[in-house]
């Protein structure tokens, strides 16, 4: 018997690290949310982030909403088709069909993409944990704890993730800001 025509790829190292935090009692809810945000950001391909940077620049530097709209649509057409790019393009097309500013439509599209990716990660992690439980790699109690802790994905700050995603820095590094004092460390 086979798994059927579709079999998920192995979890990325970013998602594995996040998954390990789901059963660790030493990690609090806030840190778990931060780890979820970091895993989500680090799992996005570099080419997808480059697409976002280019679209951001087009929207900021356009002389009008209509020229920005055309430029961003042309950018999507030139960009290699990927699941991330295709999903973002669908959301963007849906929002620009409404009578709102292009920058607002872009923000809504990014937010929708981030929510969708968080949902995908939740589903993928749940599936992987079920397989691990079935193979007796984790106990039923750890499975229940990890499943409950996956709720942290619904608590991520979409605006924070969007801001980090659009700052041309990958992952958590963009969230760290050098403090003014000698004794201050990263803020994050």
pLDDT of residue 175: 46
Residue 28 lies in a domain: yes
Query: Is residue 50 included in any domain, yes or no?
Result: yes
Q: Domain for residue 2, yes or no?
A: no
- 36, part of any domain: yes
Instruction: Show the tokens assigned to 47.
Output: 């080419």
Q: Has residue 154 been placed in a domain?
A: yes
Residue 9 falls within a domain, yes or no? Answer: no
Note the pTM of the prediction, 2 decimals.
Answer: 0.81
Q: Are 179 and 186 in contact (CB under 8 A)?
A: yes
- Quote the pLDDT of residue 5: 54
Task: Evaluate whether residue 67 is within a structural domain.
Answer: yes
- Cα separation, 31 vs 87, in Å, equals 29
- The string of DSSP letters for 26-66 reads TS-HHHHHHHHHHHHHHHS-HHHHHHHHHHHHHHHH-SSHH
The pLDDT score that the predictor gives to residue 4 is 53
Per-residue pLDDT of the chain (188 residues; tens, 9 = 90+): 455 555 666 788 888 888 888 988 899 999 999 999 999 999 889 999 999 999 998 888 888 878 788 888 889 889 888 889 999 999 999 998 889 899 999 999 999 999 999 999 999 999 999 999 999 999 999 999 999 999 999 999 999 999 999 987 644 444 433 333 444 444 44
Domain residues for the domain of 153 are 14-170
DSSP 8-state secondary structure symbol assigned to residue 185: -
- Pair 42, 16: CB distance under 8 Å: no
* 185 within domain boundaries: no
Using CB atoms within 10 Å of the CB of residue 74, give its burial: 0 to 12 exposed, 13 to 18 middle, 19+ buried: exposed
Domains of the chain: total: 1
- The pLDDT score that the predictor gives to residue 112 is 96
Q: State the pLDDT at residue 65.
A: 76
Full DSSP string of 123-184: HHHHHHHHHHHHTTSS-HHHHHHHHHHGGGGGGS-HHHHHHHHTTT--GGGGG-B--SSSS-
């Amino acid at each position: 018997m086979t798994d059927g025509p579709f079999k998920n790829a192995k979890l990325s190292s970013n998602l594995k690290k996040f998954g390990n935090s789901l059963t660790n009692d030493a990690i609090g809810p806030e840190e778990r949310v931060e780890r979820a945000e970091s895993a989500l950001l680090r799992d996005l391909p570099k080419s997808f982030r480059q697409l976002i940077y280019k679209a951001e620049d087009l929207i900021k530097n356009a002389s009008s909403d209509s020229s920005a709209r055309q430029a961003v649509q042309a950018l999507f057409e030139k960009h290699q088709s990927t699941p991330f790019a295709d999903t973002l393009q669908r959301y963007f097309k849906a929002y620009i069909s409404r009578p709102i500013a292009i920058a607002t439509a872009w923000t809504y599209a990014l937010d929708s993409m981030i929510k969708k990716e968080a949902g995908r990660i939740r589903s993928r992690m749940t599936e992987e944990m079920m397989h691990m439980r079935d193979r007796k790699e984790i106990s039923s109690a750890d499975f229940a704890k990890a499943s409950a802790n996956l709720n942290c994905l619904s608590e991520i700050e979409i605006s924070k993730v969007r801001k980090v995603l659009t700052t041309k820095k990958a992952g958590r590094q963009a969230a760290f800001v050098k403090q003014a004092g000698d004794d201050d460390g990263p803020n994050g």
